[in-house]
Amino acid sequence: MFAPFYLTLCALFLIAVSRAQDAEQLVPNSTSQCYPSIDLGWSAHVGSSVYATPRIVDLAHDGHKEVLIPTFSQFLEALDGPTGEDIPGFPFMHPRMKTYASPLPVDLNGDGQVDWLVALYTGELVVFGQDGKVQGYLQVPPLAMKRNWVKDNLPPQQAATVRPGTPLKTGTVLEDILKARRMDDLTLTSAEVLDQRHRSSIAQRHHAPTAAAVKRVEYDTHAKDAALRATDDEQESWDDNDVLDIDEDEMQLPWEKAEVEVGPNSHLSPEARASLDLLFHPELYQTAKRATGAEEATFQGRNLRQATNITFGEDEIKVDAHILSTPVVTDVDQNGDLDVILHVSYFFSEDVIAEQPERFAGGVDPHDFVATAVVCLNLVTGETRWARLLHTSTKNSTNAAYALSTPLVINADEDRSMEVFVSTSLGFVFGFTADGNILDGWPVLLGPLSASPTAEDITGDGTLDICIGDTEGKVRCYNASGSVTLEKDVIGGVADRLTFGDVDGDGAVDIVFGTTSGLIYALRGTDGAVLPSFPIVTGGSIVAPVLLLNLNGMLYSNNLDIVVPSHNGCVYLVRGSSGCIQTIDIDEKSSSMVLADDVLGNGQMDLVVTTIKGGVYVFQTSTPYTAMNAWPSKTKGVNGFSASGNYIGIVISPNFRTFRDIHGDTFNVEFTIYDSRPVSPKRSYTVEITVGTRIRLYRGRFHKPGTHIVKVRAPLERMYSSLNVALTLPNGQSFTDSISLSFNMHFMAAIKYTLIVPFLAVSAALMLVHKRHEVVEKEAVQYLF
């Protein structure tokens, strides 16, 4: 009697199991081995936390990749791609080295050598060479803010102005020139200079971010406190001086001779160092750079800005500049100069408040002075092109104004000039022309913003959309005039920028991002609908941008894969077409974007992950490397936020990518333009070929994609450098590819053969001639009898 019951129970159990298996196959968040051949290549730890996304570069231009990592404090690291070891000359270490920005390639002097610009938290732009040495620096101009602006309830434009200063017209430069020429009879003695500085400090106070000016401030602060207090109510003048590199040993003040050292060997006594010197060369074990007191306050190198005089009224206070995001380096007004667009926060840091209380005399509350501005600087001359104040606020208010976004430089309306878009923490997205004027229809207002604006044609109508997500979960896209083209509300806030690509392979652009609630969204660009299998649920907050690329082991694919780190210590890899998930447990939180490139040099695509604890992990995949599929930096080029693998891009042909030496004064460059968009008769592609970032070899326009060969002239100088091919669309979107080459570096080998070959030929000819005219003696005849 129990047999039918047991049979029925078994049947129900089998049905439940089968349905559970079917349901498990349909659950998008089920974890499985979607990518079976992802292995750890190497791992390393740098000297500090990593919040800014690093950059995959070729420092020596020898065809081998390095990972350039700006850390949260003190270090700029460079790790060898194949091994993960430190590159000679790195890490660079300085007490003031603190950054939230990624490195940017620049060429200050136009010699074809690529330098690297890093924007610091302290408001300085520092340029590093490929050897890790500082090539130059530039201080962002300060803000002049009314002392009583809160009490008087002044609007931003009346409360503060960015004060770049005026050229300094004094005899200081002439004095420096005379000293450099050793014309001692025509220059002041050290006692006269100190006496002149003493008299000058009675009339005005000085501040300068350069080394020489820091020395003067130290002297005035220690020796003339009474004089400074006596001038608190007078007009303030701040000198931003740059001095020539001359020998001033005789003029050093006593406290300037003290040396300070930080780093792993800072605890060694002089006796211990002497012992090590007997056994090893100092360069083999010295890991720290010694700096004098003045060097601690500034960076050694050329000040890119000329000497200026910044004057503040008695009702104004000087507010320090801070950079909390990556700037943009480009020729924004298309005049041939190198511009840098910065989103700057102005406030007093806690260190300044504690160490410089004299700046807040008279009951001034340092927390009352917070502002944001967009500043455009000429990176070559250091001059301020334009500056626009956005917000003023107090630090203790519920809506404090901070500049957390990277500027977007794009030509959304496709006119002859670029536009600049920035977002602020108060929820505004501003739009400016190339010369700093506000655009019609902008700003627009959302919730609080920490994400940067991005641009892509998400609707397929041929015009760009400016897209962004706020911390309240609102995702919005706008056209060039500021009208809404897409709006979608999601769960959780959007902490960083959006990424674009065809995730499901339907030929349309999708919007992909993570939220602070731990969800990964993929929205259809045409209507904002959530794609099937999305959102993906992760175990922690997502504050980094999403990486989109092809990881299916093929060169090209219509579908894209998603890679993003979460704050639960895992890196998530998601198949865009199916929603299949695989996790890599690194047990460290990450706030920076995962990068993709051939780091190990084996021809395969590698993933680079950096963490808050300073961890660096390189994972190798089975997907062949292609330049269209790579993401060597957070932003590809100037404004690239889209996956190029199945969309738009430019690639240098594979047969030309091998590192080699270019001989002669001309050579051919072969490249391919890809474009999967619908064919349009108005299509246009502007291609520019440069050595480094500034030496232009070619500029031309094409009207259809495909493979093209152009003949260009080689640089006039022998050098190792990078050859960059950039594709620019009429809307300002740029796509780049780069390889490393050398130009006429091995011509000495040819000279060697031109000397040896004629010598060998003449020697051989002489031997033949000698052989032909040789006199052969007749053999003697011998007789038997």
The pLDDT, as a whole number, for residue 123 is 93
- List b or e across 687-696, with b for residues whose CB sees 16 or more CB atoms inside 10 angstroms: bbbbbbbbbe
pLDDT digits (tens, 9 = 90+) for 96-133: 889 999 999 998 888 888 999 999 999 999 999 888 88
Q: How far is CA 292 from the centre of its chain?
A: 29
Which segments of 383-535 are extended strands (E)? 384-393, 408-410, 419-423, 428-433, 444-445, 454-456, 465-469, 474-478, 484-489, 499-501, 510-514, 519-524
Go through the chain and tell me how many residues it has.
785
Helix (H, G, I), strand (E, B) or coil at 226: helix
CA atoms within 13 A on the CB side of 588: 19
Q: What is the pLDDT of residue 472?
A: 96
Task: Give the whole-angstrom CA distance, residue 518 versus residue 731.
Answer: 34
For residues 723 and 669, what is the distance between their CA atoms, to the nearest angstrom?
Answer: 10
The more confident residue out of 351 and 4 is 351
3-state helix, strand, coil in the chain (%, to 5): 20, 35, 50
d(CA 184, CA 175): 10
Residue with tokens 């070619």: 698
Q: What is the pLDDT of residue 435?
A: 92
Going by C-alpha positions, the residue among 436, 432, 490 that lies closest to residue 466 is 432
Q: Which residue, among 597, 576, 574, 572, has the nearest Cα to 585 in the 3D structure?
A: 572
Mean pLDDT of 727-753: 84
CB atoms within 10 A of CB 134: 18
pLDDT band, residue 212 (cuts 50/70/90): very low
Percentage with pLDDT > 70 across the chain: 77
Strand partners, 695: 691
pLDDT band at 634 (very low <50, low <70, confident <90, very high): very high
Neighbours of 767 (CB within 10 A): 10
Q: Phi and psi for 257 in degrees, rounded to 5?
A: -85, -10
pLDDT attached to residue 207: 42
Report the C-alpha gap between 192 and 227 in whole angstroms: 19
pLDDT tens profile 565-606? 999 999 999 998 888 999 999 999 999 999 999 999 999 999
Q: What is the DSSP letter of 241?
A: -
The predicted structure's pLDDT at residue 755: 74
Q: Please give the class, per CATH, of domain 648-743.
A: mainly beta
Tell me the C-alpha to C-alpha distance, in Å, between residue 530 and each of 152, 350, 476, 642, 743: 49, 44, 14, 18, 51
Amino acid at 515: T
> Which residue blocks in 170-241 are alpha helix, DSSP H?
172-180, 190-203, 211-223, 225-230
- Is pLDDT of 324 > 60? yes
| pLDDT (0 to 100) of residue 389 | 96
Structure confidence by residue, pLDDT tens digits, 195-211 = 655 555 444 444 444 33
Q: Determine how β-strand 734-743 pairs with β-strand 719-728.
A: antiparallel
Q: Where in the chain is the domain with CATH 2.60.40.10?
A: 648-743
Torsion of CA 716, 717, 719, 724, to 10 degrees: -30
